[in-house]
Each structure stands twice: as structure tokens, then as C-alpha cells.
Structure 1
Amino acid sequence: MPMTPQELIQNLGDLPPLPQVATRVIRLSANADTSSDDLQAIIGTDQALSAQLLKVANSAMFGRVREVTTLTQAILTLGFSAARSVVLAASVKNLFSRGPAGVQERLLWEHALVTGLTGSSFCQAVDHPAAEEAFLAGLMHDIGKCVLSLKFPEGYSALLRRIQGEETEGLRLELDAFGFDHAMVGEALLRAWNIGDSIQSVVRWHHNPAQSPVEHQKIVALVALGNQVATDLQVGLDMPDALTRATHEALDILRLDDKTYQEYRTAALEALERDKGLIAEF
């Protein structure tokens, strides 16, 4: 009898840890009264995150003359929003290093980071209130690929090489090979972690936004557009034409015509250019 995604997660053994800091930051983001002190209190509980934040704050991107040595200085240097983004990215990145190290894992991570940043930009463009949530959802939209790589290192690595050279979605190849795809596996992992329903929906339906629950369709659509932009930039393993259907569905959900989409896309690319120093630090 074929294994289900839930059984795969239950039997994984080396289950990646729940990114608790990320979920705490998301909860903070939903609170209008959140302060820099609140963010500092969360970051201060994790030495690795603290070090990453200081590293980014001292990078050439911010042109500091004096070295940033404290979390307070780092948050002031980066700004509250950028500091939150660094924390979310750093807390999720380790999930992408659980499988065999190599070019594929690096490409998956870079694709996740660009998708998250771009999805967040689209959120801001349409005045959707969940920009930080979209960033985290974008970071995690392909997390199922990491699980498949961890569970089936040789078989999935070979399958990813096939996906990289074909102008079709890899979902069908995954279904044929394993009986489930990375979106199903990612949803099962996030459910095991008790991550919020909206992020679960993004992970499950980013290739099929129109099939997502109505209450989550906008954020799914926004991250799907981020996924398309990342793929257009050849960041990742998929071919751009493989996402055409998902992008059309996303535009329909958001009621965006092509002219408006291109304007938002240009703004997202400009934001990405500003963030390239941040991306380089990861």
C-alpha cells in the first residue's frame, strides 16, 4: 500500500525542528503594538540568529562606519521590517541544509528567498496586510522538496535534474515517482508543526491557487506570483513556462490585468535589487 504524505512525515526520523522563532515573529507582526524591544527579546534567545543579524547589519549594504556590536544597534541599522525579514530567513534556512549538500540545495534556498521577498512585495503593492506572512510562506513554499530530498536523496536528486530541463511542472513527475508531490508533503510537514492554515494553504496550493480555500486565495495567489518572478529570473530549478497556469489563476484571483501586473512586477524587481545585498548574506 502506497505511503501517504502524513506517513512520510511521521516516519521521517530526522524531522526538521519547528522554526519557533519564525512563528513567534509572525505573531508579533500581527500585533500593532509590537516594538523593537519585543523583537530583540525573541532574537536574543537564539545565538545563531543574533550572530546572523549582526552579520547583516555590518555588511557593506548598510555602509556602517562603526561596527554594530549589539542587537539594539542591529535592529536600528536594519530597520524593524528588514530585521524581521532577516530573522525569518535565518530561522528557515537551516531546513534547506538537511539533505545532501550541493548545488540543488543552494538553488532551492535561493529560490525560496527570492519568492518570499517578491511575494511580500506583491502583498504591499495590493495593500494586503500579511506581507511578513507572505514572506515566510514564500520561504517555505517548496519545503516539501527538502523533505523528499532528505527521504529519497538519490532518487529525488535525479528527478530534480529532470525537472530542471523540462517546461512542465514537476508535480506530475513527483506523483508518478512517489505517489505524492512536494506540495502535499510540505503541507503535511507544516500541519505537524502546527503552522497557521494560511501558510499551509500556500505550500499546498501554490501551483493551483484557484483550488485553495477561498479565505486564503489572495495570499496563495501573491506567493504564486512571487514564485513566477523567481523562476523568470532563473533562480531555482523550474522552467518559467511550467508555472503559466498558476500565474493566470493568481491574476484572476487578484483581478489584476497584465498592465497592472507588470507595474507591480517592476516594483518587486526594484525592491529585489535593493535587497540583493541582503540575499548575498545568506
Structure 2
Amino acid sequence: MQRINESDKLKNILDSVRDFPPIPQTAFKVVKILENPDYHVTDLVYCVSKDMGLTTEILRLANSALYSPSSKISTIKQAITYLGMNTVKNLVISLSSKALFGSGNLRLLEQKLWEHSLTVAIGARLAALKVKPSLAEECFIIGLLHDLGQLILAKEVSSYETIVQDAYNKMLDLRQMENDTLGFDHTDVGGLALEKWGMPEHLTDVVRWHHQPDRSKYKDLAHLICFANNLTKSKLIGINNHHDTEKFQNSMKYLGIVPEDADELETALMDIYGKEKELFKI
């Protein structure tokens, strides 16, 4: 396929995608609260607690094997105390995105996307705890949002389900099929959506380059997501299981993850995946 420039690519996206979803309201409010240097924790507790669905998701995750609290966490205030303000903020933003899943007619596709996104988020967090602990929570939020572009395309482009089905049946690279058919791919769309939401640059950048981590300004984060993404695909979790061994090994090398570490991370990830089935439902 002939390479197209970025302005043509953007035009193709905007011609194909009629409506980008707005940032979920609770996430928007939380971001605004935290922008105020004089905010109080009670402001955050009040804001999140009004969203019962989101509160349930945060408490479910906080009590899961992912965080393994010593005693049950039953309120948002307890979650903030145990997990920290930044982690809860990230959970609010990323878990708010779950409202976008299961809201259309492609429920099976959306279920598979959510399952894959959450598994990548957990896998990236586990990998970061091993090699770059300070990036663990950022990895979780980016992992949940990394395939936002696929969700938008599924809702907005009528031919997308066929593209996904062909890629799945033939075990082909979905990104390549998207580019061949549409002239852009889901990383372009996801990055643009997060930009429209006003998300921080490191989120939009890593979502844009998680398949090409060496092109990212935030290579550590991008390689962690690339590693977790390919690990998850190798376990056949998601809508496209084209596992890129070369990229997987390249990210392992960059991060200093040896095969024994990768095996250990895979075991830990699949243990959580097996135990926390409720987390993976939309």
C-alpha cells in the first residue's frame, strides 16, 4: 500500500469516524478536581461515590488479587488510603472508559475488547512492578485505553467487524488490515480520541505508538504495553491474536526481561485472569 502523509491520514479518520465519544463525565470531573492545587480528598470521594457503577468497579478491583489488600476495602475513602490518590485517579479515568463498552450492538466484540484491554493493563502493571515500579499505575491506565481506537472503529465504521473477522480467521495483523482497508489504524484513532479528551501527552503518545514502541517519546511505557499486549495475544485473549514474536522479544530485551521473568509474569497474569472472572465482564 502507498504510504499516506499524516494530514491525509487525519482526513481519512475524520471522514470515517463521525463521532468520537466524549470523555466520561466522572473522569472529566475528577481531572478538574485534581487540577485545583487546593483540592481536598473529600471532593474526590464525593465525586466518585455519586457514580455507583464506577464505585463498584473500583472497589471490586481494589479487593482483587491485583492489589491483594490485607482487609476488605468497602469505601472509596478506604481505597484512597490504601491505594493512594494517584492510583485511584488512574482507576477512575481508566475504569470510566468501561462505560463505552457494551453500549452498542456489537456486544461480543466489545466483550472481547474489554477482556483484552484489562488483561493487557494487568500484565503491563505486573511487568512494570518487576522492572520499572514507578510506572506501574500509569501502565494500568494505558493498558485499559490502548485499544480505544478499536472500540471507536467498531461503533463508527460499518465495515470494521468484517475487517476484524478476516484478521481473526486468517491470523493476520489487524493493524495492517486496517491500514490497507481504511488508510489508518486503531492506534491513530485512539491517540486522536485521547487528544480530544485532553488527556496527558504520555497517554496519547503511548496509545499511538504501542505497536511501535521505539517511536514513542515514552519508550519505557510503550515497551511495557507492547510486551503485555503480545503476551496477552499469545494467550488468545481478545479479537486479534496475531502474536508478534519479534516485537515481544524486542520489548523483553529493551526492558531487561529474561525468559524466566516472562514465564513468571505469564503465570501471575493467568492466575489473576482465572481468579477474577467478574472483572472481565462488561
TM bin (shorter chain): 0.7 to 0.9
2:168 maps to 1:167: no
- Pairwise CA distance, 1:277: 4.7
- In the alignment, the residues of structure 2 paired with residue 8 and residue 24 of structure 1 have an alpha-carbon distance, to the nearest angstrom, of 28
Residues 116, 134 of structure 1: 8 Å contact kept? yes
Cα distance in 1 between the residues matched to 2:52 and 2:58: 10
Deviation at 1:43, TM superposition (A): 1.2
CA contact 2:17–2:153 (8 Å) conserved in 1: no
Q: Check whether the contact 2:59–2:73 (CA below 8 A) recurs between aligned residues.
A: no
**Partner Cα separation in structure 1 for residue 277 and residue 60 of structure 2:** 12
**Residue 155 (structure 2) pairs with residue 150 (structure 1):** yes
State the partner residue of 1:139: 144
With the length of structure 1 as denominator, give the TM-score of the two structures.
Answer: 0.77
Is residue 183–residue 204 contact of structure 1 (8 Å, CA) maintained in 2? yes
1:14 to 19, 35, 40: 19
Q: 1:25 to 1:234 in 2, by over 3 A?
A: farther
Partner of 1:218: 220
CA RMSD for the aligned pairs?
Answer: 3.9
Superposition deviation, residue 17 in structure 1: 1.7
Q: After TM superposition, give the deviation of residue 83 of structure 1 in Å.
A: 6.0
**Which of the residues 171, 176, 179 maps onto 2:180?**
176
Q: Which residue of 2 aligns with 1:239?
A: 241
Q: How many residues align?
A: 269
Q: 1:190 aligns with which of 190, 194, 205?
A: 194
Q: Could you tell which deviates more after superposition, 96-105 or 167-176?
A: 96-105
1:44: Cα distance to partner? 2.7
**For residues 117-172 of structure 1, what are the alpha-carbon distances to aligned partners after superposition, in whole Å with 9 as ceiling and x for unaligned?**
1111111111331212111111111111112112213x100111111123331111
Alignment match, 1:95: 100
1:72: Cα distance to partner? 4.1
The aligned counterpart of 1:43 is 48
Separation (CA, whole Å) in 2 of partners of 1:125 and 1:28: 32
- TM-score after normalising by structure 2: 0.77
Q: What stretches of structure 2 of length at least 5 have no aligned partner? A: none
SS, match of residue 22 in structure 2: coil
- Cα deviations across residues 187-219 of structure 1 (Å, max 9, x unaligned)? 111111221222222211221212222xx1111
- Name the CA distance, whole Å, in 2 between partners of 1:129 and 1:260: 18
Q: Could you tell me which residue of structure 2 aligns to residue 279 of structure 1?
A: 279
Distance across 2 between alignment mates of 1:53 and 1:137? 16
Contact 1:191/1:200 (CA < 8 Å) preserved in 2? yes
Residue 234 of structure 1 deviates from its aligned partner by: 1.7
8 A contact 2:9–2:184 mirrored in 1: yes
Q: Offset of 1:56 from its aligned partner?
A: 6.7
Once residues 57 and 251 of structure 1 are traced to their aligned partners in structure 2, the CA distance between those partners, rounded to angstroms, is: 28
